[in-house]
Protein backbone atom coordinates (compact mmCIF):
# COMPACT_ATOMS: atom_id res chain seq x y z
CA UNK A 1 0.00 0.00 0.00
CA UNK A 2 1.26 3.52 -0.84
CA UNK A 3 0.83 5.67 2.29
CA UNK A 4 1.44 9.39 2.61
CA UNK A 5 2.48 10.35 6.15
CA UNK A 6 2.25 14.03 7.13
CA UNK A 7 4.55 15.01 9.99
CA UNK A 8 6.65 12.00 9.01
CA UNK A 9 9.86 13.51 10.41
CA UNK A 10 8.34 14.12 13.85
CA UNK A 11 8.42 12.01 16.99
CA UNK A 12 5.35 9.77 16.63
CA UNK A 13 5.39 10.14 12.84
CA UNK A 14 8.89 8.69 12.43
CA UNK A 15 8.24 5.72 14.72
CA UNK A 16 5.07 4.98 12.76
CA UNK A 17 6.86 5.33 9.38
CA UNK A 18 9.35 2.72 10.52
CA UNK A 19 6.61 0.25 11.41
CA UNK A 20 4.71 0.93 8.17
CA UNK A 21 7.86 0.23 6.14
CA UNK A 22 8.52 -2.93 8.14
CA UNK A 23 4.97 -4.10 7.40
CA UNK A 24 5.49 -3.68 3.65
CA UNK A 25 3.97 -0.25 2.97
CA UNK A 26 5.63 2.25 0.65
CA UNK A 27 5.83 5.42 2.73
CA UNK A 28 5.98 8.92 1.28
CA UNK A 29 6.78 11.52 3.93
CA UNK A 30 5.33 15.04 3.91
CA UNK A 31 6.74 17.49 6.43
CA UNK A 32 7.57 21.19 6.56
CA UNK A 33 10.48 20.39 8.92
CA UNK A 34 9.43 23.17 11.32
CA UNK A 35 9.61 20.62 14.15
CA UNK A 36 10.70 17.40 12.46
CA UNK A 37 14.15 16.06 11.65
CA UNK A 38 15.29 14.74 8.27
CA UNK A 39 17.46 12.23 10.12
CA UNK A 40 14.41 10.78 11.89
CA UNK A 41 12.64 10.15 8.60
CA UNK A 42 15.75 8.80 6.89
CA UNK A 43 16.47 6.39 9.71
CA UNK A 44 12.84 5.29 9.89
CA UNK A 45 12.51 4.59 6.17
CA UNK A 46 16.11 3.88 5.11
CA UNK A 47 16.18 6.96 2.92
CA UNK A 48 12.54 6.99 1.77
CA UNK A 49 11.02 9.86 -0.21
CA UNK A 50 10.35 12.99 1.84
CA UNK A 51 8.40 15.87 0.32
CA UNK A 52 9.19 19.10 2.17
CA UNK A 53 5.96 21.05 2.14
CA UNK A 54 3.31 22.71 4.21
CA UNK A 55 -0.19 21.44 4.91
CA UNK A 56 -1.55 24.80 3.75
CA UNK A 57 -0.19 24.04 0.25
CA UNK A 58 -3.23 22.12 -1.03
CA UNK A 59 -1.84 22.11 -4.54
CA UNK A 60 1.43 20.45 -3.54
CA UNK A 61 -0.52 17.92 -1.48
CA UNK A 62 -2.72 17.07 -4.49
CA UNK A 63 0.25 16.76 -6.82
CA UNK A 64 2.06 14.50 -4.36
CA UNK A 65 -0.98 12.29 -3.75
CA UNK A 66 -1.46 11.86 -7.50
CA UNK A 67 2.19 11.42 -8.49
CA UNK A 68 2.82 8.84 -5.78
CA UNK A 69 -0.47 6.96 -6.35
CA UNK A 70 -1.27 7.31 -2.65
CA UNK A 71 -3.98 5.00 -1.33
CA UNK A 72 -4.23 6.14 2.29
CA UNK A 73 -2.91 8.95 4.49
CA UNK A 74 -1.68 9.05 8.08
CA UNK A 75 -1.82 12.63 9.35
CA UNK A 76 0.45 13.66 12.24
CA UNK A 77 1.52 17.16 11.21
CA UNK A 78 0.33 19.50 13.96
CA UNK A 79 1.42 21.79 16.74
CA UNK A 80 0.94 19.92 20.00
CA UNK A 81 1.96 21.91 23.06
CA UNK A 82 -0.71 22.89 25.56
CA UNK A 83 1.26 25.83 27.02
CA UNK A 84 2.23 27.25 23.62
CA UNK A 85 -1.38 27.01 22.45
CA UNK A 86 -2.51 29.25 25.31
CA UNK A 87 0.05 31.85 24.28
CA UNK A 88 -0.62 31.61 20.52
CA UNK A 89 -4.18 30.28 19.99
CA UNK A 90 -4.43 31.62 16.44
CA UNK A 91 -1.31 29.70 15.42
CA UNK A 92 -2.97 26.50 16.61
CA UNK A 93 -6.17 27.17 14.70
CA UNK A 94 -4.30 28.02 11.55
CA UNK A 95 -1.84 25.17 11.59
CA UNK A 96 -4.01 22.39 12.99
CA UNK A 97 -7.54 23.21 11.81
CA UNK A 98 -6.91 25.04 8.54
CA UNK A 99 -4.02 22.72 7.72
CA UNK A 100 -6.26 19.67 8.17
CA UNK A 101 -9.01 21.31 6.11
CA UNK A 102 -6.48 21.72 3.30
CA UNK A 103 -5.53 18.06 3.53
CA UNK A 104 -9.19 16.95 3.55
CA UNK A 105 -9.77 19.05 0.43
CA UNK A 106 -6.78 17.44 -1.31
CA UNK A 107 -7.99 13.95 -0.38
CA UNK A 108 -11.43 14.72 -1.76
CA UNK A 109 -9.90 16.05 -4.99
CA UNK A 110 -7.86 12.86 -5.40
CA UNK A 111 -10.65 10.47 -4.36
CA UNK A 112 -8.72 9.08 -1.35
CA UNK A 113 -11.08 7.78 1.30
CA UNK A 114 -8.86 6.48 4.09
CA UNK A 115 -7.29 8.82 6.64
CA UNK A 116 -5.77 8.02 10.05
CA UNK A 117 -5.35 11.15 12.17
CA UNK A 118 -3.58 12.07 15.42
CA UNK A 119 -6.05 13.36 17.95
CA UNK A 120 -5.59 13.81 21.67
CA UNK A 121 -7.03 13.33 25.11
CA UNK A 122 -6.84 17.12 25.39
CA UNK A 123 -10.22 17.24 23.61
CA UNK A 124 -11.84 15.99 26.84
CA UNK A 125 -10.58 18.90 28.96
CA UNK A 126 -10.54 18.03 32.66
CA UNK A 127 -13.21 15.33 32.96
CA UNK A 128 -14.50 14.29 36.36
CA UNK A 129 -15.01 10.64 35.50
CA UNK A 130 -11.75 8.71 35.29
CA UNK A 131 -10.83 6.55 33.40
CA UNK A 132 -11.92 8.53 30.34
CA UNK A 133 -14.00 6.67 27.77
CA UNK A 134 -14.93 7.88 24.30
CA UNK A 135 -18.44 8.59 25.68
CA UNK A 136 -17.00 11.56 27.59
CA UNK A 137 -18.32 14.73 25.93
CA UNK A 138 -15.55 16.83 24.36
CA UNK A 139 -14.91 19.95 26.48
CA UNK A 140 -11.40 21.22 25.74
CA UNK A 141 -9.85 23.64 28.25
CA UNK A 142 -7.00 24.88 26.05
CA UNK A 143 -6.68 25.99 22.39
CA UNK A 144 -4.65 22.90 21.50
CA UNK A 145 -7.45 20.56 22.61
CA UNK A 146 -9.99 22.81 20.90
CA UNK A 147 -8.06 22.73 17.62
CA UNK A 148 -7.96 18.93 17.65
CA UNK A 149 -11.67 18.68 18.43
CA UNK A 150 -12.35 21.11 15.56
CA UNK A 151 -10.37 18.78 13.29
CA UNK A 152 -12.48 15.80 14.38
CA UNK A 153 -15.62 17.82 13.56
CA UNK A 154 -14.26 18.55 10.06
CA UNK A 155 -13.58 14.84 9.61
CA UNK A 156 -17.12 13.93 10.69
CA UNK A 157 -18.52 16.35 8.14
CA UNK A 158 -16.27 14.97 5.36
CA UNK A 159 -17.28 11.44 6.34
CA UNK A 160 -20.98 12.27 5.95
CA UNK A 161 -20.57 14.52 2.91
CA UNK A 162 -17.92 12.68 0.84
CA UNK A 163 -17.71 9.20 2.36
CA UNK A 164 -14.25 9.84 3.79
CA UNK A 165 -13.26 7.01 6.13
CA UNK A 166 -11.31 8.28 9.10
CA UNK A 167 -9.78 7.04 12.33
CA UNK A 168 -9.09 9.76 14.94
CA UNK A 169 -6.67 8.27 17.44
CA UNK A 170 -6.85 10.14 20.73
CA UNK A 171 -3.42 9.79 22.27
CA UNK A 172 -2.75 10.16 25.94
CA UNK A 173 0.90 11.02 26.80
CA UNK A 174 3.23 9.64 24.14
CA UNK A 175 6.60 8.62 25.60
CA UNK A 176 9.58 6.29 25.15
CA UNK A 177 11.82 5.62 22.16
CA UNK A 178 12.78 2.88 19.69
CA UNK A 179 14.34 -0.10 21.48
CA UNK A 180 17.53 0.11 19.38
CA UNK A 181 18.02 3.78 20.33
CA UNK A 182 17.86 4.95 16.71
CA UNK A 183 14.68 7.05 17.01
CA UNK A 184 13.48 9.13 19.94
CA UNK A 185 12.06 12.39 21.21
CA UNK A 186 13.82 15.61 20.14
CA UNK A 187 11.78 18.79 20.55
CA UNK A 188 13.10 22.32 20.58
CA UNK A 189 12.37 23.77 23.04
CA UNK A 190 11.66 20.65 25.09
CA UNK A 191 8.67 21.00 27.41
CA UNK A 192 7.67 17.38 28.05
CA UNK A 193 8.18 15.83 31.44
CA UNK A 194 10.12 12.65 30.64
CA UNK A 195 12.75 14.17 28.30
CA UNK A 196 13.30 17.01 30.78
CA UNK A 197 13.74 14.57 33.68
CA UNK A 198 16.31 12.65 31.62
CA UNK A 199 18.11 15.86 30.67
CA UNK A 200 18.51 16.51 34.40
CA UNK A 201 19.95 13.00 34.77
CA UNK A 202 22.39 13.79 31.94
CA UNK A 203 23.51 16.95 33.74
CA UNK A 204 22.08 19.22 31.01
CA UNK A 205 19.72 20.89 33.48
CA UNK A 206 20.13 21.50 37.22
CA UNK A 207 16.74 20.30 38.36
CA UNK A 208 13.22 19.44 37.32
CA UNK A 209 10.47 21.89 38.18
CA UNK A 210 7.30 20.18 39.36
CA UNK A 211 4.40 22.26 38.14
CA UNK A 212 2.11 22.16 41.17
CA UNK A 213 1.90 19.75 44.11
CA UNK A 214 -1.54 20.82 45.32
CA UNK A 215 -3.72 19.01 42.78
CA UNK A 216 -6.51 16.71 44.01
CA UNK A 217 -4.39 13.61 43.29
CA UNK A 218 -2.82 11.07 45.72
CA UNK A 219 0.56 12.88 45.96
CA UNK A 220 -0.66 16.31 44.81
CA UNK A 221 1.12 16.21 41.42
CA UNK A 222 -0.60 15.73 38.07
CA UNK A 223 -1.40 12.22 36.92
CA UNK A 224 -0.98 11.22 33.28
CA UNK A 225 -1.33 8.05 31.22
CA UNK A 226 2.02 7.46 29.49
CA UNK A 227 1.83 5.28 26.39
CA UNK A 228 4.87 4.03 24.49
CA UNK A 229 5.38 5.57 21.05
CA UNK A 230 5.75 2.10 19.51
CA UNK A 231 2.36 1.11 20.91
CA UNK A 232 0.93 4.23 19.26
CA UNK A 233 2.65 3.31 15.99
CA UNK A 234 1.13 -0.17 16.17
CA UNK A 235 -2.36 1.32 16.63
CA UNK A 236 -1.91 3.39 13.45
CA UNK A 237 -1.05 0.30 11.46
CA UNK A 238 -4.03 -1.57 12.89
CA UNK A 239 -6.38 1.36 12.20
CA UNK A 240 -5.07 1.67 8.65
CA UNK A 241 -5.69 -2.01 7.96
CA UNK A 242 -9.18 -1.90 9.45
CA UNK A 243 -10.44 1.39 8.03
CA UNK A 244 -12.97 1.36 5.17
CA UNK A 245 -14.26 4.30 3.09
CA UNK A 246 -17.13 6.03 4.90
CA UNK A 247 -16.19 4.51 8.26
CA UNK A 248 -15.78 6.64 11.39
CA UNK A 249 -13.44 5.52 14.17
CA UNK A 250 -12.77 7.71 17.24
CA UNK A 251 -10.75 5.89 19.82
CA UNK A 252 -8.58 6.48 22.91
CA UNK A 253 -5.00 5.26 22.98
CA UNK A 254 -3.60 5.07 26.48
CA UNK A 255 -2.11 2.39 28.70
CA UNK A 256 -5.00 2.61 31.17
CA UNK A 257 -2.58 3.35 34.03
CA UNK A 258 -2.01 6.71 35.74
CA UNK A 259 1.41 7.90 36.89
CA UNK A 260 2.09 11.10 38.82
CA UNK A 261 4.89 13.56 38.09
CA UNK A 262 6.63 12.50 41.32
CA UNK A 263 6.35 8.82 40.39
CA UNK A 264 8.01 9.55 37.04
CA UNK A 265 10.89 11.31 38.80
CA UNK A 266 11.31 8.48 41.31
CA UNK A 267 11.24 5.82 38.62
CA UNK A 268 13.72 7.78 36.49
CA UNK A 269 16.10 7.90 39.47
CA UNK A 270 16.06 4.09 39.59
CA UNK A 271 16.51 3.65 35.82
CA UNK A 272 19.30 6.22 35.44
CA UNK A 273 21.04 5.89 38.82
CA UNK A 274 21.11 9.69 39.05
CA UNK A 275 19.76 11.82 41.85
CA UNK A 276 17.53 14.10 39.67
CA UNK A 277 16.94 17.07 41.98
CA UNK A 278 13.48 18.65 41.81
CA UNK A 279 11.78 21.79 43.03
CA UNK A 280 8.08 22.55 43.31
CA UNK A 281 6.94 25.44 41.09
CA UNK A 282 3.52 26.94 40.47
CA UNK A 283 0.90 25.20 38.37
CA UNK A 284 1.22 25.39 34.57
CA UNK A 285 -1.89 26.98 33.00
CA UNK A 286 -4.08 24.54 31.09
CA UNK A 287 -2.95 21.38 32.92
CA UNK A 288 -5.80 19.07 33.99
CA UNK A 289 -5.13 17.21 37.26
CA UNK A 290 -5.65 13.67 36.02
CA UNK A 291 -5.93 12.00 32.60
CA UNK A 292 -6.18 8.21 32.40
CA UNK A 293 -7.59 6.30 29.44
CA UNK A 294 -10.30 3.74 29.31
CA UNK A 295 -8.78 1.81 26.40
CA UNK A 296 -11.44 -0.91 26.10
CA UNK A 297 -12.62 0.32 22.69
CA UNK A 298 -9.11 0.26 21.18
CA UNK A 299 -8.63 -3.25 22.54
CA UNK A 300 -11.88 -4.56 21.10
CA UNK A 301 -12.15 -2.59 17.86
CA UNK A 302 -8.52 -2.34 16.78
CA UNK A 303 -7.44 -5.55 18.54
CA UNK A 304 -4.77 -3.28 20.07
CA UNK A 305 -2.94 -4.08 23.26
CA UNK A 306 -0.21 -1.88 24.72
CA UNK A 307 2.92 -4.06 24.78
CA UNK A 308 5.66 -1.56 25.65
CA UNK A 309 3.91 0.91 27.93
CA UNK A 310 5.18 -0.19 31.34
CA UNK A 311 7.06 2.66 33.06
CA UNK A 312 10.19 0.54 32.91
CA UNK A 313 9.97 0.01 29.18
CA UNK A 314 9.18 3.69 28.55
CA UNK A 315 11.96 5.08 30.74
CA UNK A 316 14.59 2.50 29.77
CA UNK A 317 14.08 3.11 26.04
CA UNK A 318 13.94 6.90 26.47
CA UNK A 319 17.09 6.83 28.62
CA UNK A 320 18.92 4.80 25.95
CA UNK A 321 17.93 7.37 23.31
CA UNK A 322 18.99 10.36 25.43
CA UNK A 323 22.32 8.81 26.37
CA UNK A 324 23.13 8.05 22.73
CA UNK A 325 21.80 11.38 21.46
CA UNK A 326 22.42 13.97 24.19
CA UNK A 327 22.02 16.74 21.61
CA UNK A 328 19.16 15.06 19.72
CA UNK A 329 19.35 14.15 16.04
CA UNK A 330 22.48 15.18 14.14
CA UNK A 331 21.46 18.09 11.92
CA UNK A 332 23.83 17.07 9.10
CA UNK A 333 22.26 13.63 8.63
N1 LIG B 1 5.51 18.76 34.06
C2 LIG B 1 6.25 19.22 35.13
N3 LIG B 1 7.46 19.78 34.87
C4 LIG B 1 7.98 19.91 33.61
C5 LIG B 1 7.20 19.43 32.52
C6 LIG B 1 5.98 18.87 32.78
O7 LIG B 1 5.84 19.14 36.28
O8 LIG B 1 9.09 20.46 33.46
C9 LIG B 1 4.21 18.14 34.31
C10 LIG B 1 3.06 18.86 33.61
O11 LIG B 1 2.59 19.91 34.42
C12 LIG B 1 2.06 17.72 33.43
C13 LIG B 1 2.93 16.47 33.27
O14 LIG B 1 4.22 16.85 33.76
O15 LIG B 1 1.30 17.57 34.60
C16 LIG B 1 3.06 16.05 31.83
O17 LIG B 1 3.43 17.19 31.06
P18 LIG B 1 3.90 17.09 29.54
O19 LIG B 1 4.28 18.47 29.13
O20 LIG B 1 4.91 16.01 29.40
O21 LIG B 1 2.61 16.58 28.78
P22 LIG B 1 1.12 17.18 28.76
O23 LIG B 1 0.27 16.30 29.62
O24 LIG B 1 1.08 18.62 29.05
O25 LIG B 1 0.73 17.07 27.23
C26 LIG B 1 0.99 15.93 26.45
C27 LIG B 1 1.14 16.35 25.00
C28 LIG B 1 -0.17 16.86 24.49
C29 LIG B 1 -1.29 15.88 24.79
C30 LIG B 1 -1.31 15.51 26.24
C31 LIG B 1 -2.31 14.45 26.50
O32 LIG B 1 2.14 17.37 24.87
O33 LIG B 1 -0.05 17.02 23.09
O34 LIG B 1 -0.04 15.02 26.61
O35 LIG B 1 -2.39 14.17 27.88
F36 LIG B 1 -2.48 16.44 24.49
Q: Is 120 in the pocket of ligand 1 (CB under 6 A)?
A: yes
Q: Is 210 in the pocket of ligand 1 (CB under 6 A)?
A: yes
Please identify which of the residues 144, 215, 226, 329 carries the catalytic annotation: 144
* 205 falls within a domain: no
pLDDT at 93: 98
By residue range, what is the domain housing residue 50?
2-174+227-253
* 244 falls within a domain: yes
Report how far residue 133's alpha carbon sits from residue 158's, in angstroms, rounded to the nearest whole number.
Answer: 24
* 280 falls within a domain: no
Q: Any residues with CB less than 8 A from the CB of 128 and at least 6 apart, and which?
A: none
pLDDT digits (tens, 9 = 90+) for 248-257: 999 999 999 9
* 283 falls within a domain: no
* 11 falls within a domain: yes
Q: Is 55 in the pocket of ligand 1 (CB under 6 A)?
A: no
Q: Is 142 in the pocket of ligand 1 (CB under 6 A)?
A: no
* 195 falls within a domain: no
pLDDT at 286: 83
pLDDT digits (tens, 9 = 90+) for 4-45: 999 999 999 999 999 999 999 999 999 999 999 999 999 999
Closest protein CA for atom 20 of ligand 1: 192
Exposed e or buried b for every residue in 31-48, given b needs 16+ CB within 10 A?
bbeebbbbbbbbbbbeeb
Instruction: Please report, for the domain that includes residue 98, its CATH number.
Output: 3.40.50.720
Name the domain count of the chain. Answer: 1
- Put simply, whether the predicted model's pTM sits higher than 0.85 gets the answer yes
In which residue ranges of the chain is pLDDT below 70?
332-333
Closest protein CA for atom 5 of ligand 1: 193
CA–centroid distance, residue 223 to ligand 1 (Å): 9
pLDDT at 333: 55
Q: Any residues with CB less than 8 A from the CB of 45 and at least 6 apart, and which?
A: 8, 17, 18, 21, 27, 29
Amino acid sequence: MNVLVTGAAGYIGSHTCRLLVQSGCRVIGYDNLSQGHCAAFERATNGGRLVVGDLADTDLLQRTLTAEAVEAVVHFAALALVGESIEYPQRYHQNNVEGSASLIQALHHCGIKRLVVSSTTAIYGAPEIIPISEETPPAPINPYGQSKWDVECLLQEACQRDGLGFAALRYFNAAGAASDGLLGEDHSPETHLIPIVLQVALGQRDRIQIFGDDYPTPDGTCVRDYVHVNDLADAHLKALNLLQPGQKIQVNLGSGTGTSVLEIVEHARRVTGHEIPCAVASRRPGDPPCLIADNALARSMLKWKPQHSSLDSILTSAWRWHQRHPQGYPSSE
